[in-house]
Amino acid sequence: MKSYQVRMYDEYYTLCDKYRKLIRILRDYDIGQLEFTPNCPIELLKEQADVMKRYIDILLECSKYEDMELKEFEFRIERGEDYGIYWNCRKWKYV
């Protein structure tokens, strides 16, 4: 793997991890279980999440042209029996 591919790979998985953490914060805020009060407006954090998701999509698309195989990062966050978020780099939604 070439050095720029390694950097893209690292950037992608680091970004996915940060996005996952931000989504958890937004989810906890939405259900009233966030253990701290954010200093910035929640709408700004939601906008940040949207931009991060778009960048993830861009990295996935670029990887196709660079003959790289980035796996679509998937996770499920749950709190309680009937609440969670499912996300697979292409979309996220409350379920």
Q: In what order do the strands lie in the sheet with 84-87?
A: 75-78, 84-87, 92-94
pLDDT digits (tens, 9 = 90+) for 40-80: 999 999 999 989 989 988 998 998 898 887 777 655 544 44
Considering only residues 32 and 90, tell me which one the structure prediction assigns the higher pLDDT.
Answer: 32
3 state DSSP class of 87: strand
What are the extents of the domains in the chain?
3-94
The residue assigned the tokens 């906890």 is: 28
Backbone angle region of 26, left / alpha / beta, with phi > 0 → left and psi within -120 to 50 → alpha: alpha
**pTM for the model:** 0.75
